[in-house]
Amino acid sequence: MTSEIGENQVNDISQLIAQTVRDFALRQIQPFVREWDEAQHFPIELMRQLGELGVLGVLVPEEYGGAGLGYRAYVSVIVELAKIDGAIGLSVAAHNSLCTNHILKFGTPEQKQRYLPRLATGEWIGAWGLTEPNTGSDAGNMRTIAVRDGDEWVLNGAKNFITHGKSGQVAVVIARTGEPNTPHNATAFVVERGTPGFSGGRKEDKLGMRASETAEMLFEDCRIPDNQRLGDVGDGFVQAMKILDGGRISIAALSLGIAQGAYEHALKYAQERQQFGQSIARFQAIAFKLADMATSIEAARLLTYQAADLNDAGKPVTKESAMAKLYASEVAVKTADEAVQIFGGYGYTKDYPVEKFYRDAKLCTIGEGTSEIQRVVISRLLLSC
């Protein structure tokens, strides 16, 4: 009975948070979605407001200025944001589950006290750097290197496809500190904006998620003190894989929100659009599309919340997060595609919202590990049993 009451309380909190975020998104995000998308404008001012709302510190304990909640509540936040604008959902996800969560999980008490309150309140925006121009999924062969020089480290190299790569005030950066493709050859560091030798590079001009800034981070003889190191030397890649377990739940939630948003618009349009004297929803071809969309979304929801609940319980979640991310991301792409089809010619125009869901959805099958990489992760775990 106790566990049942606890679960009900968690669900109630998640529903309350979801409603709060939904109301905020309808007021403060929806009116500007097209404007931000077309200008590829990253609304930093909105991120500050989300920080005041508590959205940027969902996973951060109250002692560090956060909400002190778990992944179930966090998933609800990302879903509600992504239903309105996937780009804002992506930025909030990267800030929370990558940068902030890395410091929370592996930082010293001093590092947590220095960074988490600023990140949780939105005073600072966070970035997280693993991907590089030439190494993508081959992170063990990264070319960004850190060389120790007394009590300092000297970083040289570049990271790309980094959310908030130009605008973030603080970044967690994984750099190689050993030989290429050898065990324990990478280390994580916290690097603050303004540190000499650290700069933002080219901003990507993207197909979708355009209001979420994606840019390079460049390091040229960038010196940082050893007390900016996260964990032990050589543990960076191991840390990154643990962070990506949570990050994949984030992308599953993002995918779920995009799919739900596209579906809701398609359902409403199908009920309103008249052809041959009746709504197009009455035609079996459209009705069956809606049935398949709703069923796939519900399956993605169950996978995503299962992974979130396991993570909150402190149980291994690598397989479940990969499954949730793989399935939900591909559902998002399929659902957005079908939504455009239901809208017909109107779906191909910017006067209606489904074309943006269509563009945004594709990133979900690529970011934080492609669908192919998720299948590698899942199959390896299955075959090791």
Cβ burial, residue 45 (10 Å; 0-12/13-18/19+): exposed
Whether residues 248 and 233 fall in one domain = no
**Chosen domain end from 125, 145, 161:** 125
**Chosen domain end from 237, 254, 274:** 237
**Chosen domain end from 237, 272, 306:** 237
27 to 35, 46, 65, 104: CA distances (angstroms): 15, 12, 25, 31
**Which amino acid would we find at residue 285?**
A
Alpha carbon distance 210, 204 (integer Å): 9
Alpha carbon distance 192, 299 (integer Å): 41
Whether residues 206 and 250 fall in one domain = no
Whether residues 96 and 189 fall in one domain = no
Are 97 and 246 spatial neighbours (Cβ–Cβ below 8 Å)? Answer: yes
**Which amino acid would we find at residue 262?**
A
Alpha carbon distance 72, 177 (integer Å): 36
Task: Give the pLDDT confidence score for residue 182 in this predicted structure.
Answer: 87
Whether residues 134 and 113 fall in one domain = no
Give the CATH number, domain containing residue 325.
1.20.140.10
Whether residues 33 and 58 fall in one domain = yes
Which residues are marked as active site?
368
Alpha carbon distance 207, 215 (integer Å): 14
Are 293 and 287 spatial neighbours (Cβ–Cβ below 8 Å)? Answer: no
Whether residues 116 and 132 fall in one domain = no
Give the CATH number, domain containing residue 171.
2.40.110.10
Show the tokens assigned to 230.
């996260």
Task: Give the pLDDT confidence score for residue 57 in this predicted structure.
Answer: 97
Whether residues 81 and 6 fall in one domain = yes
Task: Give the pLDDT confidence score for residue 352 in this predicted structure.
Answer: 97
For 90, phi then psi, to 5°, come to -65, -45
Give the CATH number, domain containing residue 43.
1.10.540.10
How many Å separate Cα 346 from the centre of its chain? 29
Task: Give the pLDDT confidence score for residue 279 in this predicted structure.
Answer: 98
Of 167, 140, 218, 138, residue with least CA distance to 46: 167
Element spanning 198, H or E: strand 198-203
pTM for this one? 0.95
12 to 51, 213, 217, 352: CA distances (angstroms): 22, 33, 40, 33
Are 292 and 51 spatial neighbours (Cβ–Cβ below 8 Å)? Answer: no
Task: Give the pLDDT confidence score for residue 13 in this predicted structure.
Answer: 83
Alpha carbon distance 125, 78 (integer Å): 17
Looking at the structure of the chain, the number of domains it has is 3
Q: 141 lies in which domain range?
A: 127-237
Element spanning 187, H or E: strand 186-192
Q: What is the DSSP letter of 142?
A: -
Rounded mean pLDDT for each run of 10 residues along the chain, 385 residues in total: 49 87 98 98 97 97 96 97 98 98 98 98 97 83 96 97 98 95 94 98 98 98 98 97 97 98 98 98 98 98 98 97 98 98 98 98 96 97 90
Whether residues 205 and 253 fall in one domain = no
Residues in the chain: 385
Whether residues 52 and 182 fall in one domain = no
Whether residues 281 and 224 fall in one domain = no
Task: Give the pLDDT confidence score for residue 111 in this predicted structure.
Answer: 98
Whether residues 254 and 214 fall in one domain = no
Are 84 and 120 spatial neighbours (Cβ–Cβ below 8 Å)? Answer: no
Task: Give the pLDDT confidence score for residue 2 in this predicted structure.
Answer: 34
Strands 186-192 and 229-230: antiparallel
Whether residues 35 and 73 fall in one domain = yes
Task: Give the pLDDT confidence score for residue 7 in this predicted structure.
Answer: 61
Of 73, 82, 78, residue with least CA distance to 11: 73
Instruction: Please report, in angstroms and rounded to a whole number, the separation of the first and last CA atoms in the chain.
Output: 33
Task: Give the pLDDT confidence score for residue 286 in this predicted structure.
Answer: 98
